[in-house]
Structure 1
Amino acid sequence: MENIDCLVVGAGVIGLAIARALARAGREVVILEAEQAIGTGISSRSSEVIHAGIYYPTGLAKTRACVTGNERLYRFCEEYQVPHRRCGKLLVATGEAELPKLEAIRAQATANGVHDLRPLSAAEARAMEPQLSCVAAVISPSTGIVDSAAFMNALLGDAEAHGAMLALGTPVLGGAVENEGIVVETGGVEPMLLRARLLINAAGLAAQTVARSLRGMPEGKIPRLHLAKGNYYSLAGRAPFSRLIYPMPEGGGLGVHLTLDIGGQARFGPDVEWVDEIDYQVDPRRADGFYAAIRRYWPDLRDGTLEPAYAGIRPKIERPGGPSTDFMIQTAGCHGIPSLVNCFGVESPGLTSSLAIAEGVLAQIAV
């Protein structure tokens, strides 16, 4: 059996950010990834938006992590030359009845510590985006986009530069909590038995499975996993927009919004559905709902220009239709195991929050 200082399970954006923070703090770090490449799960199926922290309830850890992470992420991207763009986002009211919602969002943003939102008249908004239809808008200058694959590669590169090692194709099969740490059995081409002083469970959609496989982890502390599938459509050709467009939230979600990737490709979504199994297929029959939602703020969208793009699965830890819940970063104060950190329910804005989450984890363990 080999003794390891820190094992990080999961090479998505959260696992990589935490591994980097640990390595830079002088810890010995090994990253275990079940797949044959990094970031193939939740992290590869996000909208790649750098969120400002506008919508989330004040006081939640996810809200603080997003606001802090926004600044951290821009700084990281500049330092490590990760492609990104501070393009801004327009939050739009498409009818007079939505104006109170728009004002409530401004108030929520201020309470969250986001102070750069600016109200716009319909004429001012259309001067920025001539194809836009709205009665009023708010601009969020600190919202942007990032190349998520390049970001994860930069996190891994810096972690490895500080001594971290990555083991791909190495799933965790099980383990046990011991006084000296946690013993982990891995599979893959070269199965291993490892004893870690510290185990970070950042396995995303598999985080509950990994936690449940560790003998000694209290079952009652493992939250139930709910799968929320977000469907996205892309636009054939370039969109006549240079900023992200977000309609007013509806039905417990943020509505079908327009985002852009680094190459300028427009993507619309998410159209959210609760599912029982992980399935990344996008049903072409959902297109009618997309056209109707998008034409509320872009009435000139032509028929036949939307194409199924991709789907992402969020690891929700609240019931469908239930209240918004926080990121659940479990340490010994919750489950009583000093050598274990579980990351449950880290969904949007996890990409934006990743560097702040890593800082928080580092602060809660004995370095």
Structure 2
Amino acid sequence: MSSHSTPSGTGRKLTMVVVGLAALITAMLCAFALPSLHSGPHHVPVGITGSPQAVEALRENADGPEWDVRHYETADAVEAAVKEGDISGGLAVTAQGVDLYTATAGGPSAASALNALGEVVAAQNRTRLAVHDLVPFTDDDPRGAGLTAALMPMIFGGIFPAVILGSVFPGHRGLRIRLSGAVLFSVVAGAAIAAVLQFGTHSIDGNYGLTALGVILGMTALSTTLLGLQALLGITGFALGSTLVMLLGNPLSGLATGPHWLPDGWAAIGQLLPPGASGSLLRANGFFDGAGAGFPALVLTVWAVFGCAFILVADRRGRRSRGSRSEIVATSYSSTAPASRPEVTSGPIRG
């Protein structure tokens, strides 16, 4: 009877694996393709300033879901807001012409769209357009290729510790060693990534210490989360965390284009996941002197806390399991131990 049930069970397992992999590939296609198909400016924050008539005309040009128009009193205020990362760019209409303020390092796609908007406004006013890129990429990496390339090493820097340390130090006894190793790896690898970006490829030019701390925090959040899920749920937890990071976190990070180039819902999800938060933190520290780093740093801290909490729960569960096994062994030993022999005393034998 078992010879007939085994092929049936194998067939069911094979069907489940095939269906699961097909669903995974479909989800991967949707995660990568759908945001790209609907990419474009979505509520890009742009500042405007000028005379009341000019401001009204600017609002009409920027009317729509593409822009989030904010009025400023002076051109200096617009310039300061761009440098602080509060807005992606700004337009100032004066008697001398139209001044466009952009931050290419904050989002090259949004900067290009703002350039097109500035040209339309200048043409309508029949005047010149002066473009001021206040936060550009570095001269050695004018397109930000190094910044974009940094995302995958940071993601795999969170995945590798869970895989390798889990193999070298398996089980409950190795849990604390895996956690210590993951944090130590994040410190060393994060500092190395920041050093390569700043001193090797010259892709960023911010404060190295601040940038390194941000990369370390991002990799720590990723590695502790995956380690915690792996310790708590086994291979299922690791697969769930890796899928979340790779299928959603990577395409929705917005590191190459800026988060405002993704549809609103996709962009919000991406910034709440470790890859998106890590990318935004790297951008803020590498180009904006830490301005706007608060929210992504908070997101990564929350993920790291959750990861450590998962590890703590798994550790306590493992201790209880070991305690239960010890009690079972002790009880089994006591029940099978030979009965004590009666005490034998020496003395004369009496007949």
TM-score over 0.5 (shorter chain): no
Q: Which has the larger radius of gyration?
A: 2
User: Taking CA–CA contacts closer than 8 Å with sequence separation of 6 or more, which of the two structures ends up with the larger relative contact order?
Assistant: 1
Q: What TM bracket, shorter-length normalisation?
A: under 0.3
Give the structure with the larger strand fraction.
1
Give the structure with the larger helix fraction.
2
